[in-house]
């Protein structure tokens, strides 16, 4: 009985020694525990930050907690790295970006100072060559009455003419009334001279290259009852004269059409040409 008790005690001692790892090769209990761990080589121990104390609100880990998965401290000692910049440089984007919403719409509007200036109207020039005194007077009178804005010039030639006419009337209305009387007497080749000067509002009845031809026409008029007609030598009434007008294209064209209706026998040319 006593021997059995001693045997049981010895067995318990051996079992206890074996459980404590006394029979391990390293002779250390920690070595036995390391051998019993799974994937011990993958275990990493991160030491806590010594310079920064743990926050008061953070809970302290218990003494029995394993250090295999420690919680990272809330410390600014390990700042979070900012995300990488975008692939395109910032200057490349801002170089084409508008400075403000107001400036984005600015190119769509054109300031009055930047508008293209109005194109000047085209100019034109006409010239009538080899004018007689009567045609020159009528042409100059037409331009003065209906196209005063046109620039005009007149030159004279070398041969004098004789002018059959009725002396100047007091006003244009008096001249028009006298023209009406002459037309009722059968005189149709006439016009009112409106060129400023001493013969303004005179009624021209014809211009001739010789005094005999002028006198013959005067005698014919008197037989028709025209008593006030007379013949006078025109100091400026010569053959070979010319008349030139300059101005805008539309007004010069309008003058050419008016002259074609009033004086179909004379034809204009472009300035700088004879034909």
- Sequence spans of domains, the chain: 138-156+241-275, 158-239
Distance CA 242, CA 271 (A): 11
Range 156-166 average pLDDT: 78
pLDDT in tens, 110-141: 455 555 555 678 999 999 987 877 788 888 88
Q: Which of 151, 169, 166, 159 has the alpha carbon at shortest distance from 133?
A: 159
> Is 204:165 a contact under the CB 8 Å cutoff?
yes
Evaluate if residue 239 carries a pLDDT over 80: no
Evaluate if residue 167 carries a pLDDT over 50: yes
Distance CA 196, CA 23 (A): 150
CA dist list (Å): 144 to 33, 192, 200: 130, 12, 12
Confidence at residue 24, expressed as pLDDT on a 0 to 100 scale: 53
CA dist list (Å): 210 to 87, 172, 217, 231: 102, 30, 11, 11
Distance CA 268, CA 192 (A): 22
> Is 249:121 a contact under the CB 8 Å cutoff?
yes
Evaluate if residue 27 carries a pLDDT over 60: no
Mean pLDDT taken over the chain: 74
* CATH code given to domain 158-239: 3.30.70
61: pLDDT confidence band, cut at 50, 70 and 90? very low
> Is 108:137 a contact under the CB 8 Å cutoff?
no
């Amino acid at each position: 009985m006593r021997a059995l008790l001693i045997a049981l005690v010895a067995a318990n001692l051996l079992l206890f020694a074996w459980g404590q790892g006394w029979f391990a090769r390293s002779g250390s209990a920690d070595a036995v525990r390391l051998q019993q761990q799974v994937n011990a080589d993958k275990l990493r121990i991160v030491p806590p930050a010594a310079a920064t104390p743990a926050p008061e609100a953070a809970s302290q880990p218990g003494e029995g907690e394993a250090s295999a998965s420690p919680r990272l401290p809330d410390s600014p000692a390990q700042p979070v790295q900012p995300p990488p910049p975008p692939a395109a440089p910032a200057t490349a984007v801002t170089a084409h970006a508008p400075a403000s919403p107001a400036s984005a719409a600015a190119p769509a509007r054109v300031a009055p100072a930047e508008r293209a200036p109005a194109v000047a109207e085209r100019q034109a020039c006409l010239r009538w060559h080899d004018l007689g005194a009567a045609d020159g007077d009528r042409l100059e009178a037409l331009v003065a009455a209906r196209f005063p804005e046109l620039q005009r010039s007149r030159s004279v030639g070398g041969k004098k003419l004789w002018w059959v006419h009725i002396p100047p009337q007091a006003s244009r209305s008096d001249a028009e009334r006298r023209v009406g009387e002459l037309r009722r007497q059968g005189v149709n080749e006439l016009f009112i001279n409106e060129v400023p000067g001493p013969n303004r509002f005179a009624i021209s009845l014809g211009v001739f290259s010789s005094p005999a031809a002028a006198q013959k026409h005067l005698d014919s008029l008197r037989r028709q009852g025209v008593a006030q007609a007379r013949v006078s030598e025109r100091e400026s009434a010569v053959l070979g004269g010319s008349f030139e007008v300059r101005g805008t294209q539309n007004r010069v064209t309008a003058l050419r059409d008016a002259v074609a209706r009033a004086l179909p026998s004379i034809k204009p040319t472009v300035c700088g040409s004879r034909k």
